[in-house]
Amino acid sequence: MTDPFLDSLATALAGQVATALGAAGTQALAKVRELLRRRAQNDPETQAALEAAEQPSAGQPQITALAERLDQVCAQDAAFAEQLRSEGEELYKEISATDDSVVNVNHGQVNNLIQAREIKGDITFS
């Protein structure tokens, strides 16, 4: 089983969510695609997986194969994995937000933080 983050990136790279992305997500997708293409120049397996997933006829098997390949590459190359996560963070947030889930991003230190879809009643901090 692959990382949900990598599954989401593979889905986006295959063109399955492009219409749902905003400007930031579209830019992040372009950065992720370029990063992966640079990597694929010297990695025939990654190139084959990316090309298969980008075909108009690509379906779930090709997307899964790309996600699995990304998982393998990230396991072998920690620097690439870090860069992919950095470049893909905005894309992942947008994809996660489009599936009707709650997305909560916090950078920094907070005293009280709640993540919820729906709250009925009051919340009190003491």
**Alpha carbons 36 and 21: distance in angstroms, whole number:** 19
- Name the average pLDDT for the chain: 82
**Alpha carbons 41 and 87: distance in angstroms, whole number:** 19
- 8 Å CB contact between 66 and 52: yes
User: 26-84 pLDDT, tens per residue?
Assistant: 888 889 999 999 999 999 999 999 999 988 888 889 989 999 999 999 999 999 999 99
Which residue is listed with tokens 């063109």? 15
- 8 Å CB contact between 117 and 102: yes
The pTM of the whole model exceeds 0.85: no
